[in-house]
Structure 1
Amino acid sequence: MADLRSGGGAPTVLRVVLGRRLQQLREKSGLSYEEAGHALDVTHATVRRMEKAEVGLRIPYVEKLLRTYGVTESEEIEGFVSLAREANQPGWWHRYRDVLPEWFSAFVSLESESELIRAYEPHYVPGLLQTSRYARAVLRSGMPHAPEEEIERQVALRLERQAVLGRAEPPLVWIVIDETVLRRSIGGREVMAEQIEHLIKATELPYVNLQIMPYSAGSHPAMYGPFHLFRFPVEELPDVACTENLVGAAYYDQREDVSAFLEALDRMCGQAAPLNRTAGLLNALRKEI
């Protein structure tokens, strides 16, 4: 997996995929990093970094490596090169690099290209389901000294992230939120009423599953904090889990680590209110507000 915390901008998922395919071709050909680097007249570290998507895919290098690895069909080479050019294009989030921390650009990259997004959130409504006014209130509380222009740029970024839900084939979004999320007043009564109404409409979408963890459920497997899990429509990429903190994030793609997050989510889904009760709980809360 690419080092998602490395400099130079988070790689697109396609670049990660192509890096893995280059690794598979190199290993199939029986060549070492050093031998592949010798073919390019570069160090073995350059080949390693290409495979891990830590650098862009230089087209002359890609063409030379494919031939070195025994790929001879011109159509296959042209197809790979075409994908490499596409992968080298910065993601849409690059437009927000003035307000987007490096660690979070990796998150947005994963979110944008997932086919399944699962999450647990104990503090606030996840970004994909926030209204603009709720998002503004959350951002202002977390960035009390930021100028208004920066807050508005952050709101615009958050709303553009939500475009993933409008794709022709949107990801399945399955989120468990604490009851606390709905009872903590963020932005005032009007903002919360609007936000809850937005969640009610979201639950009507066939690709959004929202469950509420009630106070009465007691302790559960993820009381240590929020996390996300991403799954992709390409076999080369493993599931990736992400945990956030005040100054960054940690990403996990090792099977044993991701399995722990998956197990916690599955257990929480069993403890939380069933999906068919979510709309009723939200409507009842809306009346309270």
Structure 2
Amino acid sequence: MKDARSGGAPTVLRLVLGKRLQDLRERAGLSFAEAGRALDVTHATVRRMEKAEVGLKIPYVEKLLRVYGVTDQRDIDAFVSLAREANQPGWWHRYRDVLPEWFSAFVALEGEASVIRAYEPHYVPGLLQTEAYARAVLRAGMPHAPQAELERLAALRAERQSLLTKDDPPLLWVVMDETVLRRPIGGPEVMRAQIDRLIEATEMPRVRLQLMPFSAGPHPAMYGPFHIFRFPLPELPDVVYSESLVGAVYVDQRDDVSAFLEALDRMCAQAAPAHTTRTVLGGIRKEI
């Protein structure tokens, strides 16, 4: 994947179908150019469909499937049905007036992942934030934004959190610097409520929270926060998300992802064990 500053975010299903089209093309022994000629379009159009950079035009999909050797009409109809579903905007589309394009891809990946691992040195991750803490973080990061825009973003963050209470939630495994809990955001009352929320989260069976204490010294990811998404679908590789002030980078190349995974594994070994997190949080809360 690449720098995501513009362009609509694909649904995860569209990513999967693009990968399936790629596999069918390669099995048929056709190049991008040859597939493009079959559609009377440029090779770039085929490539962009496979990379989920554009919507899946149904006539194109039907013709490509036949060109690639899919002859059973039931298989074609099933694929086309999925393509129609994949072209529907995700639930987050309702927030398109305030949601940056580069972050909408994050929401799409987050919603379909079976495992979400993260390192956070600055803030409590969005899935675990209280409403008051979220508002304080948003205001700090967007000091000139109208209040209405901040309220919309806070509502989006709250809706994302329903992911943790659905019937089959993902595993959320976070390593969080002690700095996050020592930085006063929103005042003592807000911070106490936020720590209470984290204590509650430690009791959730699919949440694993580890704290990296100051005393642990340097660690492999001191350069900044990142997320790693893993999916139950074999077509999708692990994806790393790394955010900057004005955009984000999404990485899915195996060697690059492996570097992030190794760093996070080392950090998990270096951080305080998850079973001690509740006690540590309680101690910090008393100090606030």
Q: State the TM-score, normalizing by the size of structure 2.
A: 0.97
Cα displacement string for residues 93-136 of structure 1 (whole angstroms, at most 9, x for unaligned residues): 11111111111111111111111100000111000100000000
Alpha-carbon distance in 1 for matches of 2:198, 2:105? 26
CA distance in 2, matches of 1:81, 1:235: 20
| AA aligned opposite 2:136 | A
Q: Distance in 2 between matches of 1:78 and 1:178?
A: 50
* Residues 1:44 and 2:35 are matched in the alignment: no
Corresponding residue of 1:56: 55
Output the amino acid matched with 1:243: S
- Larger deviation: 272-281 or 164-173? 164-173
For residues 51-74 of structure 1, the C-alpha deviation after alignment (integer angstroms, 9 at most, x for no partner) is 111110011111111111111111
Secondary structure at 1:270's aligned position in 2? helix
Aligned partners of 2:269, 2:64: CA distance in 1, in Å? 49
Q: SS state of the match for residue 210, structure 2?
A: strand
CA offsets, 1:157-208, max 9 Å, x none?
1111112112211110000000111111100011001000000111100100
Larger relative contact order (CA 8 Å, sep ≥ 6): 2
Q: For residue 89 of structure 2, what is the amino acid of its counterpart?
A: P
Q: Give the whole-Å Cα distance in 2 for the aligned partners of 1:31 and 1:184.
A: 56
| Structure-to-structure mapping, 1:11-160, within 5 angstroms | 11-160=10-159
TM-score between both structures, scaled by the size of structure 1: 0.97
CA distance in 2 between counterparts of 1:7 and 1:104 reads: 10
Q: Distance in 2 between matches of 1:260 and 1:31?
A: 33
The percent identity for this pair of structures is 73
Structure 2 portions without partners, runs of 5+? none
State the distance in 2 between where 1:51 and 1:280 align.
Answer: 48
Match of 1:189 in 2: 188
Residues 1:218 and 2:217 are matched in the alignment: yes
Alignment partners' CA distance in 2, 1:144 and 1:14? 36
- 1:38-90 Cα deviation digits (max 9, x unpaired): 22121211111111111100111111111111111111111111110110001
Give the Cα separation in 1 of the matches to 2:262 and 2:169.
Answer: 24
Q: Distance in 1 between matches of 2:6 and 2:219?
A: 36
| Residue 7 of structure 1, CA deviation | 4.0
Residue deviations 1:221-268 (CA, integer Å, cap 9, x gap)? 011111111111111111111111111111111111111110111000
SS at match of 1:282: helix
CA distance in 2, matches of 1:8, 1:265: 30
Amino acid in the other structure paired with 1:159: A
1:62 touches 1:81 (CA, 8 Å); kept in 2? yes
User: 1:6, 1:54 within 8 Å by CA — same for their partners in 2?
Assistant: no
**Does structure 2 conserve the Cα–Cα contact (< 8 Å) formed by 1:4 and 1:11?**
no
Give me the CA root mean square deviation.
1.1
Give the SS at the match of 2:199.
helix
In structure 2, C-alpha distance between the alignment counterparts of 1:35 and 1:157, rounded to whole Å: 43
Secondary structure (helix, strand or coil) at the match of 2:242 reads strand
Query: In structure 2, how many angstroms separate the alpha carbons of the residues matched to 1:274 and 1:170?
Result: 22
* Counterparts of 1:214 and 1:20, CA distance in 2: 41
Q: Is the 8 A contact 1:118 1:228 kept in 2?
A: yes
Q: Secondary structure at the match of 1:250?
A: strand
Task: Check conservation: 1:176, 1:211, Cα contact below 8 A.
Answer: yes
Contact 2:4 2:247 survives alignment (8 Å) = no
